[in-house]
Copies of this chain bind each other. A is one copy, B any other.
């Protein structure tokens, strides 16, 4: 169900011809109200794509009535013409839905430095608005079509739903299989809810949720130019949830989508959770986890099922987090391979054949903790990213 699970939303996904494969490549999600509150977070990359530059303006008043997303081109570093394409796409959606273009978010994903074909986009918008479905028998199929339309190298669509005991619902869809890195939001994600919340509450909840989910997913250390996480509230269920309860449920949905992104990361053969405990601060824990997640040597070793814990410590040592370099403990998949900077259990005891890998780093420097999700560095990653150009 994803984006149409919550009442008050319609979705569609169509093939506009932007992908040479002929697959679906344009999606629209419409908020049918009664509310039109929204929040969004964007890539912190300073080189932002045109749709991000546009959407940052749209979100500033907290009102979003529709979002249009395309794969098949990032519309980044395409200059003034590229910005016009984004603007014209929003106008096309606005014309069809009889809303203002200033209330239409635009998201694009694909190759940087190539112009999108505006004729294809406009025809796709026309088709998508005709196909919009929500609150009816076709809504699940429509939501799936939308989730498919934003896929690039993804092998499967990503959807998640949370239904609260009180009766409000959160649903989300995501794309992303490479360029997953922090700075926030490094994928396209649309989340909808029928709860009654204003844009300030949505913004608070969204930042709480993304900080500990998408922001801690660092598949390959590369930060995208386009990525966006948008949260739209229709208020259609008429229930006003507690903000803490809502944020917790939203975090659950975001975590599910983040784990789906990790599980589908380009070419990966292991999903690695790097849990840093007993750090002086949460920032230290994140810094240490991220340093390990960006060590190509460590990631290649995991690909080879080699529990090379020295590469974990070598990466930890590059950070300025608080710790005694010779007071760190490391366990891999439950085997304590290093205690206080000396070898402990034999590394041969570590079984790295499962896809799921757990690296536990005890800094012995405080009480804070954080977990970073990453993937291994594989032949297939290199292959997909050397040949990828769509």
With contact pairs A77-B343, A220-B296 given, residues A301 and B47 touching in the complex (Cβ less than 8 Å): no
CB distance from A186 to the nearest CB of B (A): 10
What are the residues of chain B within 8 A of A386 when measuring CB–CB? 300-301, 303-304, 306
Chain B contacts for A112, CB-based, 8 A:
308-311, 313-314
A221 to B387, CA, bound (A): 23
Q: Does A13 contact B (CB under 8 A)?
A: no
A295 CA to B342 CA, complexed, in Å: 32
Residue A316 is within 8 A (CB to CB) of chain B in the complex: yes
Contact in complex: A387, B223 (CB < 8 Å): no
* Among candidates B113, B224, B295, B382, residue contacting A382 with C-beta atoms closer than 8 Å: B382
Which residues of A (22-56) have their CB < 8 Å from a CB of B? Answer: 45-48
Interface string of A243-263 (1 = CB under 8 A from B): 000000000000000000000
A387 lies within 8 A of B294 (CB): no
B-side contacts of A47, CB under 8 Å = 313-314, 316-317, 325
Nearest-CB residue, chain B, relative to A226? B314
Residue among A315, A383, A386 facing the most chain B CB atoms (10 A cut-off): A386
Contacts of A46 in B (CB 8 A): 316-319, 325
The CA of A310 and the CA of B77, in the complex, are separated in Å by 8
Taking CB atoms, residues of chain B closer than 8 Å to A178 are: 297
Contact, CB under 8 Å: B77 / A300: no
Q: Cβ of A79: which chain B residues have Cβ within 8 Å of it?
A: 326, 340-343
Q: Does A222 touch B at the CB level, under 8 Å?
A: yes
Complex Cα distance, B377 from A93, in Å, reads 42
Contact partners of A179 in chain B: CB under 8 A: 297, 314
Q: Does A276 contact B (CB under 8 A)?
A: no
In the assembled complex, how far is the CB of residue A261 from the closest CB belonging to chain B, in whole angstroms?
A: 16
Instruction: Flag whether A381 is at the interface (Cβ < 8 A).
Output: yes
In contact, B314 and A225 (Cβ under 8 angstroms): yes
Contact check, B77 vs A297: say whether CB atoms are below 8 A apart. no
Contact assessment for A303 and B382 in the assembled complex, using a CB-CB cutoff below 8 Å? yes
| A342 → B minimal CB distance (Å) | 4
Q: Within 8 Å of chain B (Cβ to Cβ): is A347?
A: yes
Contacts of A278 in B (CB 8 A): none
Q: Chain B residues near A183 (CB, 8 Å)?
A: 318
Chain B residues positioned under 8 Å from A220 (CB to CB): 296-297
Using known A-B contacts A178-B297, A386-B303, A389-B308, determine if residue A342 contacts B379 with beta carbons closer than 8 Å.
Answer: no
A225 and B310 contact, CB distance less than 8 A: yes
A378 at the interface (CB under 8 A from B): yes
A96 CA / B135 CA spacing, docked (Å): 87
**Is A111 among interface residues, defined by CB-CB distance under 8 A?**
yes
Against B, the Cβ 8 Å flags (1 = close, 0 = not) of A143-159 are 00000000000000000
A319, closest chain B residue (CB): B46
- If the complex has contacts A76-B310, A113-B309, A223-B314, are A296 and B385 also in contact, measured as CB distance less than 8 A? yes
CA A78 – CA B310 in complex, angstroms?
10
Question: What are 11 inter-chain pairs, A to B, with CB distance below 8 A?
Answer: A47-B313, A76-B313, A79-B341, A79-B343, A113-B309, A113-B338, A179-B297, A222-B295, A222-B297, A225-B314, A308-B389
The chain A residues found within 8 Å of chain B, CB to CB, are 45-48, 74, 76-79, 111-115, 178-179, 183, 220-225, 294-297, 300-301, 303-304, 306, 308-311, 313-319, 325-326, 337-338, 340-343, 347, 377-379, 381-383, 385-389
Given A221-B294, A221-B295, A306-B389: 13 more A-B contacts, CB < 8 Å? A45-B314, A48-B317, A78-B342, A79-B342, A113-B347, A222-B296, A222-B297, A222-B315, A224-B314, A296-B381, A300-B382, A300-B385, A301-B385
- The 3 tightest CB contacts between A and B, nearest first, are A112-B310, A304-B386, A47-B317
